[in-house]
Structure 1
């Protein structure tokens, strides 16, 4: 779970590793390519350790992320440092500390059901080319499954199963993934996958990994980028084994998100 210190030292290697694949089987993102992506540096109760997740900016003072990043059944967070507008987790950008996190009231860390939370910032961030909100589904999109479409996941997470932590750089990376049906996803993970989830396939060993959870899965719909998933879980067998990745389906929590905007 603890990633941050390894990221800090690894950023020194960023320039010499710019051509290496990222996320898992993905690539480096360009500056301003995902202005809605936030990194979370997470302070945990009872330890000096720091954990890492992602989140998505929805307005000048609200983000959406994963409930397990705040409480995963074992570790309880007491503060986030929200990092916006930078490709690197420990340098540049805008950094805002907050302890105002609203976890969905029936979040279950055993089954990972309802893995979603809203994050309140104490100030309004200034929008720019590098910091901007992501659109939420609306209209007909609220009734779409997005099965068969291509989504883009982005984050600061691990790049392979062999890494004990993030050992190279904390630069934002991204990967295009095919959204698959919950029926297919359930054939791998069982009935812990519900209609409140969505999944992407892992064919070719590509996908999200540790440190990416809480971050966005985005599709291009009706001329704009739209947040459809919050990264929730990967296979216990690893990120590169070809299994699907699981997300919290944003349309299932439309009312919860709107209530806290």
Structure 2
């Protein structure tokens, strides 16, 4: 920002306090830096400098995701005193974020345009999506424990100082936490520190055990000691909007950005919940699917597949019918549950369902009345009639587990468990089915199998299973050869699985294993053949007993 920019243009006047001890609010444009010490080079690198419009406003923010900066909604509102009026969507004024450049005279860090705003409905908060991801700079972690009075906090900002209108370095100051409310905290600067114009949206950081975490963002202050503030104003108090208790909203907003995600659908008793795993391994809060997409009388089984950014879901409802819904990448529902038994065929006693995407087509395989059926929904949303797979692939009775996966060349693979053994068939791109083949004969036998899951990975097909003596894995190569069956005990440990799901996520084949102790283990086979360290999907916040988890990958 030019050093000779007009202070009147960059910063608005402060309104009078409404009550004794209340903090002043911005009446017009926020703009300025913490009246404190210059930050050491490279420290607080996640702090963002925001230039809004043609030097119309300047604010501070924090990188909380490689795609998102969290700051104050008042920075972008037409009337900064009314941040709740800020509309979601593209910012009204061109906005540039500079992250990781604590010394503005250098070229360190990254610059990116802000292309989308997602304001919080009830607080002076907004998530600002960047046009390009910022990699190489660690985002600031959101605090997970509530603030308490007496804590010492630190605020870095790019606003004014006591003697500079537009500092060229990031400054930081120490603050004492005075008061705590549901929506915010009151702080007082120490050692001459104050929140000045231009620090609006600055991260309020709590440092514990050498770890920095984002507790709040600066919203408004008295600005005592800041350049341009009357000398008679000596108060350094500030009001800061809490973020620790809106972490779920932050996670849900983060999930709106493009990029590979693992989507999980968790059954608990007869209920169904949805969550997204983000690139850093964190998860969004669970969403009640029936509350969002329609009540289908409980969920007895579920299958899912990703197509681009959307998650396609087919659930076997309490009425014994198949119901189909689509959840978009932005969290909205493109289609609430529709009854496929009415829209397509009224299949009989449905016991198994699996789905997979091939391009923009959705393939559905169903076991009903001990018969295996297949249908396709094409990219235009048109469904084919159910065909009987066992009429062309050969008879296979008593199917107790089934999994479908698309593979190279438009092939659809099916693995089915019958009599404790796994059988495999495929449908080529022309629609022709092959005969069933025994996986045990091709890859080696295991103890009796109870569940199977398959997933493509490059040109190969991953197959993982749960047997009575543990979990196993094999590969079917593109030429039709099978890798010898191998135990997954060295990957997931000594666990007893009850169900398994698999999905391609970027270059990985990811697996979710539900266990008898009401847990879900997640792991992945990387493209180089190595395996990821298992992690647990936390299902403790879901009421009831966990009855199965399925996963898919979306962009």
Normalised by the size of structure 2, how large is the TM-score? 0.36
Cα–Cα, structure 1 residues 38 and 220, in superposed 2: closer, same or farther, change >3 Å? same
1:89-116 CA distance string (max 9 Å, x none): 465231111231111124xxxxxxx100
Q: Is 1:31 the counterpart of 2:31 in the alignment?
A: no
Partners of 2:178 and 2:112 in 1: how far apart? Answer: 35
Cα–Cα, structure 1 residues 100 and 172, in superposed 2: closer, same or farther, change >3 Å? same
Partners of 1:259 and 1:134 in 2: how far apart? Answer: 17
The correspondence of residues 1-261 of structure 1 with structure 2, limited to 5 A, is 4-6=1-3, 23-24=34-35, 26-43=36-53, 48-73=54-79, 77-89=92-104, 91-92=106-107, 93-106=109-122, 114-127=123-136, 131-138=137-144, 141=145, 144-160=146-162, 165-166=165-166, 169-182=167-180, 195-202=182-189, 205-221=192-208, 223-235=210-222, 239=226, 241-261=234-254
Cα–Cα, structure 1 residues 74 and 126, in superposed 2: closer, same or farther, change >3 Å? closer
Partners of 2:221 and 2:78 in 1: how far apart? Answer: 14
1:230-253 CA distance string (max 9 Å, x none): 011012777561241111011232
Cα–Cα, structure 1 residues 154 and 237, in superposed 2: closer, same or farther, change >3 Å? closer
Q: CA deviation at 1:226?
A: 0.6
1:57-93 CA distance string (max 9 Å, x none): 1111111110001115169842220101212346523
Q: CA deviation at 1:50?
A: 2.9
Q: Assess if the C-alpha contact under 8 Å between 2:116 and 2:128 holds in 1.
A: yes
Q: Which residue of 1 aligns with 2:529?
A: none
Q: Which residue of 1 aligns with 2:434?
A: none
Q: Which residue of 2 aligns with 1:109?
A: none
Which structure shows the higher strand fraction?
A: 2
Cα–Cα, structure 1 residues 91 and 249, in superposed 2: closer, same or farther, change >3 Å? same
Partners of 1:7 and 1:133 in 2: how far apart? Answer: 32
List alignment gaps of at least 5 residues for structure 2. Answer: 6-32, 82-90, 227-232, 255-555
Normalised by the size of structure 1, how large is the TM-score? 0.72
Cα–Cα, structure 1 residues 204 and 88, in superposed 2: closer, same or farther, change >3 Å? closer
Q: Assess if the C-alpha contact under 8 Å between 1:115 and 1:248 holds in 2.
A: yes
Residue 257 of structure 1: SS of its match in structure 2?
helix
Q: How many residues align?
A: 211
Partners of 1:257 and 1:90 in 2: how far apart? Answer: 32
List alignment gaps of at least 5 residues for structure 1. Answer: 9-21, 107-113, 183-193
Partners of 1:216 and 1:236 in 2: how far apart? Answer: 17
1:166-190 CA distance string (max 9 Å, x none): 3xx32101011111114xxxxxxxx
- Taking only aligned residues, the RMSD between alpha carbons, in angstroms, comes to 2.5
Q: Assess if the C-alpha contact under 8 Å between 1:88 and 1:170 holds in 2.
A: yes
Residue 181 of structure 1: SS of its match in structure 2?
strand
Q: Assess if the C-alpha contact under 8 Å between 2:175 and 2:190 holds in 1.
A: no
Q: Assess if the C-alpha contact under 8 Å between 1:202 and 1:244 holds in 2.
A: yes
Q: Assess if the C-alpha contact under 8 Å between 2:74 and 2:80 holds in 1.
A: no
Higher relative contact order (CA closer than 8 Å, sequence separation 6+): 1
Partners of 2:219 and 2:243 in 1: how far apart? Answer: 12
